[in-house]
Copies of this chain bind each other. A is one copy, B any other.
Amino acid sequence: MRDRRRGRRTASLAAAAAILAGGAAARETGHEEAVARIVAEATTRGRSWALLQHLTDRIGPRLSGSAGAEEAVRWTAERLRADGLDTRLEPVLVPRWVRGEETAELTGALPRRLVVTALGGSVPTPPDGIAAEVVVVDGLEGLRALAGERVKGRIVLFNRAMGAGAFSGYRQVVDQRSRGASEAARRGAVASIVRSVGTLSARLVHTGAVTYEEGVPQIPAAAIAAEDADLIARLAADGGSPPTVRLRLGCRTLPDAPSHNVVADLRGRERPDEVVLIGAHLDSWDLGTGAHDDGAGVVMVMDALRILKAAGLVPRRTVRGVLFMNEENGLRGGKAYAADHAAELPRHVAAIESDSGGFAPEGFSANVGAEGLETLRAVAAALAPLGATRITVGGGGADIAAMRPARVPLMSLVVAGERYFDWHHTPADTLDKVDRAELARSTAAMAAMAWLLAEMPETLPRPVPSPSPSPSPATR
């Protein structure tokens, strides 16, 4: 095993050298030397942790349209300008959903408070709430298997638990959160509650967006803690009085609000009109402080640009950082960027999103075809000092997905995110969950991959057009 791996790595390094050789800068600064400088800057003088502390401690939650989101726009732009980057704010009109007071309780002789949170975008309940018997189903399939009269006038509890596998486990159950309300409403339900999608049962709620289907009544949609979902399921099954819940959600939707993407360029020395984009999203959910989701990605992008400058690495092509607004509940920033930069997208040679948390880097995923993956594997061999050499099929965070029709090679930073869904979208997504050294290494991986892609003489092959141009993002 060990020998074979070493043999492969030596071959990769040779291939990487071949791919990266040729440019003036590459001759002046070999790619191994460049990566070494990046790693040194990120790990010894890196600012990713300090930036993340300010973003989460002093600014805090950054739900689109909120004061926190606007302060994040202002402050990140100010910091990027202070680092000498060509920085501008690009207008985005964002949805403005505001959480209100929210409670849920089991009613009956011994009433019981449930730990509840509205899903983002939910309509409110009447001020006195909605009280109804609960019918428990195992995901959307479980709902579809029920006779309609079992649902009419009731609250549906979607109780499919998230299995193992982090991102793949999440993708398998999140549809009950995003689409459950409309599926239940179509069958006459009066409200929809989902078991919090996550991997840690600590009476935590996991919020996230609900998407109402057009033409279907909009019913209130909330998430409850896994423990509370289990409790209701047991009460429904134990033959005693069936569980009845009163749900009160005071959330509301205000008119769309003006906001911005933050765009900062490190201008290329030879082909400035060719762009390697590195991105993350500036908005967050409102329960925690969005430390892993996606404060970590934001500070990786910010510090990666600074690191390249500080390391004296002026890339052949432009490296552009984009801090997208409104990933969580609208994707307006990603869509606005793709629309406003449509003319430029044919010269976007890659777009890399970091939106899987601030954990240790493992590599990158990409949608660049078999040949492109081989090229990337050769390039990524240079990231061996960071342990970030793994290249897999995938790519395309939610924000950069809008560039897919323009055939931009899309990539994602892949991290060791086994615990990501302990914290994702919960009140516990806070600074203490991020490890400083892991964050610095992932920052270095973003900077190094951006440098390598901006520097190599050739570009990655552009992917063939996808039959479904805007696939549903996996990690919202």
Provide 22 A-B residue pairs closer than 8 Å at the C-beta atoms, listed in order of the A residue. A53-B238, A58-B238, A59-B110, A60-B112, A67-B110, A68-B110, A71-B109, A71-B110, A115-B427, A200-B202, A201-B432, A201-B433, A202-B202, A202-B426, A202-B428, A203-B288, A203-B426, A203-B428, A203-B430, A227-B430, A231-B430, A234-B431
Asked if A240 contacts B110 (CB within 8 A), the reply is no
5 smallest CB-CB distances across A and B, nearest first, come from: A202-B202, A203-B428, A203-B427, A227-B430, A202-B428
A190 contacts the other chain (Cβ, under 8 Å)? no
Over the window 411-453 of chain A, the binary record of Cβ atoms lying under 8 Å from chain B Cβ atoms (1 yes, 0 no) is 0000000000010001110111100000000000000000000
A292 to chain B, nearest CB (A): 13
Q: Which residues of B contact A203 (CB under 8 A)?
A: 204, 288, 426-428, 430
Asked if B57 contacts A235 (CB within 8 A), the reply is yes
Chain A contacts to B: CB under 8 angstroms: 53, 57-61, 67-68, 71, 109-110, 112, 115, 200-204, 226-227, 230-231, 234-235, 238, 240, 288, 422, 426-428, 430-433
> In whole angstroms, what is the CA distance A383 to B240 when docked?
38
Q: Which residues of B contact A200 (CB under 8 A)?
A: 202
Asked if A53 contacts B234 (CB within 8 A), the reply is yes
Q: Which residues of B contact A226 (CB under 8 A)?
A: 432
Other A-B pairs beyond A58-B110, A202-B422, A226-B432, 16, CB < 8 Å:
A53-B238, A57-B234, A57-B235, A57-B238, A58-B235, A60-B112, A61-B112, A71-B110, A201-B433, A202-B202, A202-B204, A202-B428, A203-B204, A203-B288, A203-B426, A227-B430
> In whole angstroms, what is the CA distance A428 to B109 when docked?
22
A109 to chain B, nearest CB (A): 8
Q: Which residues of B contact A112 (CB under 8 A)?
A: 60-61
Q: Which residues of B contact A427 (CB under 8 A)?
A: 115, 203
Q: Which residues of B contact A240 (CB under 8 A)?
A: 58
A255 to chain B, nearest CB (A): 22
Q: Which residues of B contact A428 (CB under 8 A)?
A: 201-203, 227
> In whole angstroms, what is the CA distance A59 to B238 when docked?
14
> In whole angstroms, what is the CA distance A67 to B110 when docked?
7
> In whole angstroms, what is the CA distance A292 to B197 when docked?
25
Asked if B432 contacts A230 (CB within 8 A), the reply is yes
A61 to chain B, nearest CB (A): 8
Using CB atoms, name the residue of chain B closest to A99: B113
> In whole angstroms, what is the CA distance A60 to B432 when docked?
32
> In whole angstroms, what is the CA distance A307 to B68 when docked?
60
Q: Which residues of B contact A238 (CB under 8 A)?
A: 53, 57-58
Using CB atoms, name the residue of chain B closest to A429: B203
Using CB atoms, name the residue of chain B closest to A70: B110
Using CB atoms, name the residue of chain B closest to A228: B430
> In whole angstroms, what is the CA distance A60 to B61 when docked?
34
> In whole angstroms, what is the CA distance A60 to B109 when docked?
11
Using CB atoms, name the residue of chain B closest to A234: B57
Using CB atoms, name the residue of chain B closest to A53: B234
Q: Which residues of B contact A61 (CB under 8 A)?
A: 112
Asked if B234 contacts A60 (CB within 8 A), the reply is no
> In whole angstroms, what is the CA distance A230 to B428 when docked?
12
Contacts A427-B115, A430-B203 known; A60 to B227 CB distance under 8 Å? no
A229 to chain B, nearest CB (A): 10
Q: Which residues of B contact A432 (CB under 8 A)?
A: 201, 226-227, 230
Residue with the highest number of chain B CB atoms closer than 10 Å, among A59, A202, A231, A426: A202
Q: Which residues of B contact A59 (CB under 8 A)?
A: 110
A25 to chain B, nearest CB (A): 39
> In whole angstroms, what is the CA distance A231 to B431 when docked?
9
> In whole angstroms, what is the CA distance A24 to B428 when docked?
60
A267 to chain B, nearest CB (A): 33
Q: Which residues of B contact A201 (CB under 8 A)?
A: 428, 432-433
A223 to chain B, nearest CB (A): 15
A101 to chain B, nearest CB (A): 10
Residue with the highest number of chain B CB atoms closer than 10 Å, among A61, A71, A288, A430: A430
